[in-house]
Chain A
Amino acid sequence: MLYQVVFDDKSIFKGGDSYKNTNWVNIPDKFIKQISFALPDGNFITLQGYEAYNHFIEATQDFYGVTGKSKGKPTIRFQYLRGKIKNKIISFRISLFQTKDSKYRIGDITRRELEWGKDDNGKSSKGWKKGIKI
Chain B
Amino acid sequence: MATSLVVKINSTSNDAVDSGNFITLDLTNDKLIWTDGSVAVADGANTPSDAELNEASPLVPASVEYEVPKLFLLDYSATGQELKEVNLAGSDNNRYVLRFEFDADTATEPTLEAWDDNDHDSNDLYCLGAGTGSNSYISVVRTTDGSPGSGGWTGTPISGGSNKSLMNGGAGALGSGSHTIYYNVKVVIPTGATPASETPVITTRFTWN
Question: Which A residues form the contact surface with B (CB < 8 A)?
Answer: 19-22, 24-25, 54-75, 77, 80, 99, 101-104, 120-127
**Structural contact, B201 and A66, CB atoms closer than 8 A:** yes
Q: Is B50 an interface residue (CB 8 A)?
A: no
Contacts of A65 in B (CB 8 A): 117, 199-202
- Can you list the 10 inter-chain pairs with the closest CB atoms, starting with the nearest? A72-B28, A123-B172, A56-B107, A127-B209, A64-B202, A20-B2, A65-B201, A120-B108, A24-B209, A72-B27
From A19, A20, A21, A70, give the contact of B118 (CB < 8 A). A70
**Structural contact, B209 and A59, CB atoms closer than 8 A:** no
**Structural contact, A60 and B107, CB atoms closer than 8 A:** no
**Structural contact, B27 and A62, CB atoms closer than 8 A:** yes
**Structural contact, A74 and B5, CB atoms closer than 8 A:** yes
In the assembly, what is the distance between CA of A61 and CA of B101, in Å? 12
**Structural contact, B119 and A64, CB atoms closer than 8 A:** no
Contacts of B204 in A (CB 8 A): 60-61, 63
Contacts of B201 in A (CB 8 A): 62, 64-67
From A56, A61, A71, give the contact of B108 (CB < 8 A). A56
From B5, B31, B119, give the contact of A61 (CB < 8 A). B5
In the assembly, what is the distance between CA of A80 and CA of B27, in Å? 27
- Residue-wise, chain B 117-129 has the 8 Å CB interface mask toward A (1 for contact) of 1111100000000
Contacts of A123 in B (CB 8 A): 109, 170-173
What are 25 A-B contacts defined by CB distance under 8 Å? A19-B2, A20-B2, A21-B1, A24-B209, A59-B207, A60-B203, A60-B204, A60-B205, A60-B206, A61-B203, A61-B206, A62-B118, A62-B201, A62-B202, A65-B201, A69-B118, A74-B5, A80-B207, A102-B121, A120-B108, A120-B172, A125-B107, A125-B108, A125-B173, A125-B207
Q: How far is the CB of A120 from chain B (nearest CB, A)?
A: 4
In the assembly, what is the distance between CA of A60 and CA of B27, in Å? 13
From A25, A55, A101, give the contact of B119 (CB < 8 A). A101
**Structural contact, B25 and A20, CB atoms closer than 8 A:** no
B152-209 residues at the A interface, CB under 8 angstroms: 166, 170-173, 199-209
In the assembly, what is the distance between CA of A101 and CA of B117, in Å? 10
From B7, B27, B31, B199, give the contact of A73 (CB < 8 A). B27
**Structural contact, B173 and A120, CB atoms closer than 8 A:** yes
